[in-house]
Amino acid sequence: MTTAVAEAQDAHDEHHGPDKGIRRWLFTTNHKDIGTLYLVFSLIMFFIGGAMALVIRTELMQPGLQFVHPEFFNSMTTMHALIMVFGAVMPAFVGLANWMIPMMIGAPDMALPRMNNWSFWILPVAFGILLSTLFMEGGAPAAGWTMYPPLVLQTGDAFPFLIFSVHLMGISSIMGAINIIVTILNMRAPDMWLLKMPIFVWCWLITAYLLIAVMPVLAGAVTMLLTDQFFGTSFFLAAGGGDPVMFQHIFWFFGHPEVYIMILPAFGVVSEIIPTFSRKPLFGHDSMVYAASSIAFLSFIVWAHHMFTVGMPLSGQMFFMFATMLIAVPTGVKVFNWVATMWRGSMTFETPMLFALAFVFLFTIGGFSGLMLAIAPADIQYHDTYFVVAHFHYVLVPGSIFAVMAGAYYWLPKWTGHMYNESLGKLHFWLSTIFVNVTFFPMHFLGLAGMPRRIPDYSTQFADFNMIASIGALGFGFSQLIFVWVLLTAKKGAKATDRVWEAPKGLEWTVPSPAPYHTFDTPPKARIAQEAFE
């Protein structure tokens, strides 16, 4: 995809164009280049994290250990999560933001282009460090991505590298978030007042604030781990007056908003796509904004629902249970609004729309299991079982990742100037959707039947569903190669028109396809901006 986009941009190089060769990518301050870098990076991480998932699923295909040792298995679950969360899902959305936000709001570039370059190039360094721990004495981190002490303090040589790489990821995300906020608040086209912004931009604005609010808290928590291990502090060591449970509180104070950091931009993408292919305006634009804001607010007061078994006063359990249940209300509003957008529309089912529809269906299933998990007494049974694994994979894979796929297919013609191969796209969609369910649906049953998560081996009674899940995982993993093929051949298709689709709304469709290296050097005229939304 890199080359396709690069060539496309070379062709449309109006004034001072990009540098040639590697310098272009190393020193670029162009939002489109950086967006591409983010997206390619995230795709690579998606395959590395995916390979780890396949190691996990291959080992779990049958009872008994066949391929790996338990220590390595634990490293795989830990690294899979860290890579997918911080390396695949988050950078993918930042990449979409970089590419699309300036074009959607009529800005020439991101507000802080040099910082933009930095925030991307920190990421490969961070993940280089994280991946290098695989080869260290004592193995890669194996205490789970949640890094609970005291267990995480038993990590070998990898420990300081784990902390340092998390710091770098945090710095990168914070810089990216600042850039997005400044761009959105300062550089909108003259006539675009806040509530008129496209919903994707809105969702990202809220997400960016969440990032700035919680990534530093994670940085603080892991710094405390570091000083506990090496500098004699006792934040989480009971012997020195600390408390290991406190880490869980601080972690989840970051961790729950983090969940919404990964899903709000997905809501944004889907809310752009469904109206386009329903040929009907988004239902309740403003209430979508309010719903996203309420979800963001609620995310700060529900963290302890990850900890119902830790031993909490009854009043605490009640509070966190009720607050968690409340999240269902704004989330419900979003789903109902999407359905209302489709209602009496005139729908067609191109690949982006298919992914968006699967998102609505399958994310809602993840939402249902989320509601079940909110019920504290029942959560005691679900907690730390495969039911939870099923739940968060439903909201992350057919949730966040399907939204990224939908967004990629939706905007690809705008990026490359050519239509991608629609039948391959549809094949990719159908295989992904079938296998994602084959993989994750049986996990609900496994969890309810009593299989804990993060175990390398299991009793024979869990054998059948594990086999099915593993087959699904292999199928899902290999289906993603179709996506790579679609990207590699993205330039082979027919020339895309400027509007690409029949009835898309928004400024990004008023510029040529492929989008020139520089767009909106002068802010779009109010009239053009308005027409883009009509």
Partner 1 sequence: MIRKSLLSLLGTLWAGAASADWALNMPRGVTELSAETYDLHMMVFWWCVWIGVVVFGVMIISLVKHRKSRGVEPATFSHSTTAEVVWTIIPVVILLVMAVPAAETMIRLEDSRNPDISVVVTGYQWKWHYRYQDEDIAFYSSLDRPSVEARPKNSGIDPFDVENFLLEVDRPLVVPKGAKVRLLITSNDVVHSWWVPDLAIKKDAVPGIINETWFRAEQTGTFRGQCTELCGKDHGYMPIVVEVVEPDAYIAWVETHQQTGERVATSQ
Partner 2 sequence: MSDSTNNRPGNDNRSLTRKLLLLAAAMFGFGYLLVPLYDVFCEITGFGGRTNSVAEISREDPDFSRSIRVEFVTTVNEYAPWEFVADRDSMEVTPGKMYYATFTARNLTEDKKVAQAVPSVAPISASGHFKKIECFCFTNQEFQANEERAMPLQFIVDPDLPEFVDTITLQYTFYDTVRVSANDGS
Residues with a catalytic annotation lie at 80, 109, 145, 172-173, 256, 258, 260, 271, 305-306, 331, 334, 453
Burial-class residue 84 by CB neighbours within 10 Å (0-12, 13-18, 19+): buried
| Of 63-71, 219-227, 292-300, 353-361: span binding partner 2 (CB under 8 A) | 219-227
- Candidates 70, 128, 240, 512; binder of partner 2 (CB under 8 A) is 240
- Candidates 17, 63, 108, 493; binder of partner 2 (CB under 8 A) is 108
Gap between the Cα atoms of 218 and 220, Å rounded: 5
Burial-class residue 153 by CB neighbours within 10 Å (0-12, 13-18, 19+): middle
Helix (H), strand (E), coil (C) string for 457-478: CCCHHHHHHHHHHHHHHHHHHH
- Candidates 7, 19, 243, 498; binder of partner 2 (CB under 8 A) is 243
Gap between the Cα atoms of 269 and 524, Å rounded: 23
Burial-class residue 426 by CB neighbours within 10 Å (0-12, 13-18, 19+): middle
Q: Pick one of partner 2, partner 1, none as the site partner of residue 246 (Cβ within 5 to 8 A by kind).
A: partner 2
Site string for partner 2, 316-355 (x = CB under 8 A): x---------------------------------------
Gap between the Cα atoms of 233 and 240, Å rounded: 8
Q: Is 140 near partner 2 (CB under 8 A)?
A: no
Q: Is 6 near partner 2 (CB under 8 A)?
A: no
Residue numbers 333-352 binding partner 1 by CB under 8 A: 333, 335-337, 339-340, 342-349
Q: Of 97 and 333, which has the nearer Cβ to partner 1?
A: 333
Residue 152's nearest CA partner among 75, 99, 209, 42 is 75
Q: Is 448 near partner 2 (CB under 8 A)?
A: no
Site string for partner 1, 365-404 (x = CB under 8 A): x--xx-xx--xxxx-xx-xxx-------------------
| Of 15-23, 149-157, 227-235, 512-520: span binding partner 1 (CB under 8 A) | 149-157
Handedness of CA 457, 73, 49, 328 (dihedral sign): positive
Residue numbers 248-287 binding partner 2 by CB under 8 A: 249-250, 253
Q: Pick one of partner 1, partner 2, none as the site partner of residue 191 (Cβ within 5 to 8 A by kind).
A: none
Q: Which amino acid is at 339?
A: V
CB atoms within 10 A of CB 241: 8
The radius of gyration of the chain's CA atoms, rounded to the nearest angstrom, is: 23
> Taking the complex as a whole, how short is the minimal distance between the CB of residue 439 and partner 1, in angstroms?
17
Q: Pick one of partner 1, partner 2, none as the site partner of residue 377 (Cβ within 5 to 8 A by kind).
A: partner 1
- Candidates 3, 66, 132, 154; binder of partner 2 (CB under 8 A) is 154
Enumerate the β-bridge partners of residue 418.
Answer: 495
- Candidates 17, 138, 156, 284; binder of partner 1 (CB under 8 A) is 284
Question: 3: which 2 tokens?
Answer: 């080359």
Q: Is 74 near partner 1 (CB under 8 A)?
A: yes
Gap between the Cα atoms of 531 and 254, Å rounded: 41
Is the Cβ–Cβ distance between 270 and 259 less than 8 Å? no
Q: Is 238 near partner 2 (CB under 8 A)?
A: yes
> Taking the complex as a whole, how short is the minimal distance between the CB of residue 471 and partner 1, in angstroms?
13
Q: Of 97 and 360, which has the nearer Cβ to partner 1?
A: 360
Count how many Cα atoms sit within 13 Å of the Cα of residue 155 in the half-sphere of its side chain.
Answer: 28
Gap between the Cα atoms of 520 and 230, Å rounded: 51
- Residues touching partner 2, count (CB under 8 A): 55
Handedness of CA 279, 285, 289, 292 (dihedral sign): negative
SS3 1: coil
> Taking the complex as a whole, how short is the minimal distance between the CB of residue 118 and partner 2, in angstroms?
13
Q: Is 237 near partner 2 (CB under 8 A)?
A: yes
Q: Is 239 near partner 2 (CB under 8 A)?
A: yes
Is the Cβ–Cβ distance between 1 and 488 less than 8 Å? yes
- Residues touching partner 1, count (CB under 8 A): 95
| Of 87-95, 172-180, 328-336, 414-422: span binding partner 2 (CB under 8 A) | 172-180
Helix (H), strand (E), coil (C) string for 71-96: HHHHHHHHHHHHHHHHHHHHHHHHHH
Q: Is 312 near partner 2 (CB under 8 A)?
A: yes
> Taking the complex as a whole, how short is the minimal distance between the CB of residue 108 and partner 2, in angstroms?
5
Q: Of 36 and 432, which has the nearer Cβ to partner 2?
A: 36
Residue numbers 436-465 binding partner 1 by CB under 8 A: 445, 448-450, 452-461, 463-465
User: First vs last Cα of the chain: how many Å apart?
Assistant: 32
> Taking the complex as a whole, how short is the minimal distance between the CB of residue 243 and partner 2, in angstroms?
6
How many residues are there in the chain?
Answer: 534
> Taking the complex as a whole, how short is the minimal distance between the CB of residue 280 and partner 1, in angstroms?
5
Q: Of 258 and 350, which has the nearer Cβ to partner 1?
A: 350
Q: Which amino acid is at 353?
A: M
- Candidates 89, 142, 221, 397; binder of partner 1 (CB under 8 A) is 142
- Candidates 128, 150, 190, 512; binder of partner 1 (CB under 8 A) is 150
Torsion on CA atoms 345, 350, 354, 357, rounded to nearest 10: -20
- The DSSP code for 418 is B
Q: Which residues bind partner 2 (CB under 8 A)?
A: 107-109, 111-113, 115, 138, 150, 153-154, 156, 174, 177-178, 181-182, 185-188, 190, 212-221, 224, 229, 235, 237-241, 243, 245-246, 249-250, 253, 311-316, 520, 522-523
